[in-house]
Amino acid sequence: MPTMNKKANSRYSMQQCMQMAACTNCQSCADVCPAVNAAGDGRLSALHRMRGLQQILKSRNSSGWIARLFGRKELTEEEWKEFSETVYRCTLCGNCQEVCPVGINLKDLWVSLREDLVDEKHFPKKINMIKSNLKSSRNVFDEDNEERAEWVEDMDDPPDDLFVRDEAEVVYFTGCTAAYFPVAQKIPLALADILLQAEIDFTLLGEDEWCCGFPLLGAGLKDMFTEFAEHNIQAVLEKGAKTVTFACPSCYEMWKEHYPYKENGIQIFHSTQYLEMLIKEEKIPFKSLDMTVTYHDPCDLGRGAREFNAPRAVIKAIPGVTFVELPNNRENCNCCGGGGNLEMVDAKLSAGIAKSKVEEAISTGADTIVSSCQQCVRTMLTYAKRNKINIDVLDITQLVRKALEMDE
């Protein structure tokens, strides 16, 4: 049995402990959990996780209000192991929080729980890989960070500077997945074309862009996060930019919730918000597209950042496009399976969640699933291709690029 430490005890605020005690065991969270539904395993539910967390607090030799709320009961080594294996098999999609009738902030609680498990040395080995990669390479895939802007070379007419400029009005923060995965690289290629067409003065950070820090929080490695946030803020300021745009919702939400961007005079926009603004300013000329599309709300952009309207406004602005909603949409949208570092921990479960998502999209009769997240696109498109399913998956930037009136 590991020795409990004060640092682990401090992971939970009084408010979080009071919320834990308020859980009514109603099982609403289990009903909407994508991991539970894909695996058929109730141990992956928020309800099971809540009970396990309460047992952890009982196991500690605490005094004061924690002891009064939860009492004391030692956990065995086997109980620690069994519980910890379920905690990381979660996409952190936040749907459990969305339906909780007593308003428990479950997503933040799960992040605190992962930090706790890291402190107690009960976590998947892949977490050590994430930690090592981000320490050494500043990106989650352990790629050469100097190659972050090499995707620009795939443009028809790439600039010599690869858009890494000394100064610009706007920074396009690319994100790790789009910078390195060939499937996802189509997203920054599309957005770069759009920004050029709209005559936006923009730059990339290139090798000075570090991971936004989302994989760190998702892994329970919060103690490493501050260095990454401070570096990225400084890298933007050194460009003289006052605006940052992101095609990745996780990067956007990390900046929105955890970066001191406002006090540094910076504005941030997800690409859907920025595209909507450019459309209203009549900077994006469209041709008609004969397509039927449905839209998948990314968890971090939808339930996380509460942005539901901008992507729909962008889609509806494109002439010829027929838009159909998913049965579960907006705050009730089902996760794609790509969040919370799940793919690294349990690729089979991630694919099972993607299967449910793609099948739901097929039920709408759409020929294309549109999302606004590089990880969502990669997860759903990979599943569709591997299983030879006849449906296309595009990021919203790719859809806009497809509709651009440009000399082809």
Tell me the pLDDT tens digit for each residue of 190-244. 999 999 999 999 999 999 999 999 999 999 999 999 999 999 999 999 999 999 9
Q: How far is CA 408 from the centre of its chain?
A: 33
Percent of the chain residues past pLDDT 70, beyond the cut? 94
Region 127-278: CATH code: 3.40.50
Residue-level pLDDT at 184: 95
Residue-level pLDDT at 296: 98
Tell me the pLDDT tens digit for each residue of 89-144. 999 999 999 999 999 999 999 999 999 999 989 998 899 999 999 999 999 999 99
Closest-CA residue to 254 (of 300, 291, 193):
300
Q: Residue 188 in contact with residue 395, Cβ under 8 Å? A: no
Tell me the pLDDT tens digit for each residue of 256-285. 999 999 999 999 999 999 999 999 999 999
Fold of 6-123: Fumarate Reductase Iron-sulfur Protein; Chain B, domain 2 (1.10.1060)
Tell me the pLDDT tens digit for each residue of 293-304. 999 999 999 999
Map out the domains of the chain as residue ranges: 6-123, 127-278, 287-403
- DSSP class of 101: T
Q: Residue 115 in contact with residue 222, Cβ under 8 Å? A: yes
d(CA 181, CA 178): 6
Domain 287-403 is found in CATH 3.40.50.11810: yes
> Do the two domains 127-278 and 287-403 of this chain adopt the same fold?
yes
Q: Residue 343 in contact with residue 337, Cβ under 8 Å? A: yes
Q: Residue 342 in contact with residue 331, Cβ under 8 Å? A: no
